[in-house]
Amino acid sequence: MAQKLPALGTNRRRIKCFQINLHRAIAASYRLSALVETQCLDFIAVQEPPKATSMESKRNHVKLMRRDLVAIQAEVPSAHGRRKIVLASLYLPGDTEDAVTDELQQLTDYCKRHNLQLVICCDANAHHTGNEPTFMNAIRGEVLDLTLASNFISNSISEWKVLSEITLSDHRYIGFDLRGEPEEVTEIRDVKRTNWSLYNFHLEQGISCLNWGINNSMELDREVNKLNNVIIDSFEKSCPLRTKKRSRNVPWWSGDLDKLRKNVRQLFNRAKSTGDWATYKSALTNYNKELRKSKRESWRKYCESIEVLPTATRIQKSFSKSHTNGLLTLKKADGGFTGSLEETGQLLLDTHFPGSVRCEGEDGTIKATRVLMVTNRNLALARGIFTIEKTKWAISTFAPFKAPGTDDISPCLLQRGGRSGTNFN
C-alpha cells in the first residue's frame, strides 16, 4: 500500500464500481474487459478470475495479500481534498461456519488503526440471505455476493443493484456508484493539432531575442534553457488546450455479438419463468464461442496490419519485459507495517544507513565549481564535429510524434520549425 496511490473518478462526481465472480471463465473475463471500456468503470472487484497455470505465483511472499483477498489503498476526490480509502475483493470459503477469516480480520484491524474507510466486495458463499439472487443457474438461485462498507463511506454509496446483463458466469454483475466531489478537468495539448504557421511566427520572434555570443559553458547552459523555453512557449501559444477524453472503443466487439448478447439475455429471463434452460444454455454456448472467435480474429487482424518497426517493437517489449510491482508496504521490527511511501522510505533509510540525518531545504542540485573557458582549438574541433547539416540530419531521424523527453519538447517541434530550424544550431 505504500506505492503511489491510484486516483479514482478524478473528472466525475461518481466513481463507477463493479463486482463479479468470474468462476474462472475466460469468456467471462473477455466480456468484462469490454464493459471496462464501454462503461468507463473506475474500480472492478473480481473473485475467482481465470488462472494462468503456467505462471508462478509471487503472492506467497506478500503478507497483506492472499489468494482469496486483495486490497488496494486509493484516493478519491472529496469536498476537503483527496481522501484515502481501502477497496477490497474477497472470497469467503463455503465450508466453514465462521464467515470472518483471519485475512478479513487483519484487514479491518489495519483500517481501524490507520483510520481508513473500507469497502469490501465479496463472494460470501451463502453466509447471507437476501431478496435478489446474485448467483443463478438451472438448479438454484442464491444470494452469494455482498458489498460491505464502513459506516462513513457507506453513506457515499448509491445506485447499488444486481444487473441483468449476461456475464458468461454463473454469477451476476453488481454495480454501484461511490459519490465524490469533482476535481479539475484534465486538459492536454495535442501536438498533432498545432497551428504550424502560428508556431513558426512565435518561434522566429523568440529566437531573435537570444544571445548567440557564447563564451563559456555557463552561458551555453543558460542559452539552451532560454531556447527550450522559447520552443515550449511558441508551442503553447499555437496549440490550444483540449479536454482529455476517454476512448470507449472495443475493437473486437461487433453488432453481431451485441445481437447474440441481447438474445441470450431474453432467453435467460424467459428460462427463469418457464424453466426452459436448455435453449438458454445452447444460446449461451454459441455466444461464448462467437465472442472468443471475434477477439481471436481481431488480434490476428491487428498483428497482420503491423507494417512499421516501432509498432512491432512496442508489442515485443510488452511481451518480453518482466512486469514488476512498485514498492509496497514493508514489515517493521515491531511486527507492524509501513502505511505510506514516506514511511517505507524512512524505514529503508534507517535500516541501511543507521544514524543518517535528513537534510531539509536543499534543492539537490550540484552547482558548478568552476567555469570552463572555450579555447580556439576546442571551438574548431566542435565546429568540425557538430555542423548544421549533421544536426539537421539527426533531428530528421526522430519519429515526429515520439513522446518528449525530460525537456517536454516533441521531435516535430524541431522538425517543423521551418526557417527558424536553422537557428537552432
* Per-residue pLDDT tens digits for 239-279: 988 887 766 677 888 888 888 888 888 888 888 788 888 89
The lowest-confidence range among 18-22, 282-286, 300-304, 369-373 is: 369-373
For residue 20, which of 42, 39, 41, 48 has the smallest C-alpha distance?
Answer: 48
In the chain, the largest separation of any two C-alpha atoms, in whole Å, equals 96
- For 97-137, strand residue ranges (E) read 117-123, 135-136
pLDDT value at position 234? 92
Asked if the model's pLDDT at residue 2 lies above 80, the reply is no
Q: How confident is the model at residue 324 (pLDDT cuts 50, 70, 90)?
A: low
pLDDT value at position 178? 84
Q: What is the mean pLDDT of the chain?
A: 78
pLDDT value at position 61? 40
Q: What is the distance between the alpha carbons of residues 235 and 127, in angstroms, rounded to a whole number?
A: 60
pLDDT value at position 236? 92
Asked if the model's pLDDT at residue 48 lies above 80, the reply is yes
The lowest-confidence range among 35-39, 68-72, 140-144 is: 140-144
pLDDT digits (tens, 9 = 90+) for 392-425: 888 888 888 888 888 888 899 988 875 454 445 4
pLDDT value at position 4? 42
What percent of the chain shows pLDDT beyond 90? 4
Asked if the model's pLDDT at residue 129 lies above 70, the reply is no
pLDDT value at position 237? 92
| Residues 198-211, mean pLDDT to the nearest whole number | 87
Q: How confident is the model at residue 232 (pLDDT cuts 50, 70, 90)?
A: very high
Asked if the model's pLDDT at residue 195 lies above 60, the reply is yes
For residue 345, which of 359, 329, 360, 333 has the smallest C-alpha distance?
Answer: 329
**DSSP run (H or E) holding 19:** strand 14-21
Answer positive or negative: Cα dihedral of 372, 373, 374, 376: negative
pLDDT digits (tens, 9 = 90+) for 139-155: 556 667 888 888 888 88
The Cβ of residue 54 has, within 10 Å, a number of other Cβ atoms equal to 5
| Residues 152-173, mean pLDDT to the nearest whole number | 84
Q: Spell out the long-range contacts of 144-148 with Cβ–Cβ below 8 A and sequence spacing 24 or more.
A: 144/21, 144/171, 145/19, 145/20, 145/21, 145/121, 145/171, 145/172, 145/174, 146/120, 146/121, 146/122, 147/19, 147/119, 147/120, 147/121, 147/122, 147/174, 147/176, 148/118, 148/119, 148/120, 148/122
pLDDT value at position 316? 81
pLDDT digits (tens, 9 = 90+) for 346-398: 888 888 888 777 666 555 555 555 555 667 888 788 888 888 888 888 888 88
Q: How confident is the model at residue 231 (pLDDT cuts 50, 70, 90)?
A: very high
Confidence (pTM): 0.50
| DSSP annotation string for 221-266 | HHHHHHHHHHHHHHHHHHS--EE-------TT--HHHHHHHHHHHH
What percent of the chain shows pLDDT beyond 70? 77
pLDDT value at position 378? 81
Q: How confident is the model at residue 59 (pLDDT cuts 50, 70, 90)?
A: very low
pLDDT value at position 1? 37
Asked if the model's pLDDT at residue 5 lies above 50, the reply is no
Pairing of strands 145-149, 157-162: unpaired
Asked if the model's pLDDT at residue 9 lies above 60, the reply is no
pLDDT value at position 375? 77
pLDDT value at position 343? 84
**DSSP run (H or E) holding 316:** helix 309-320
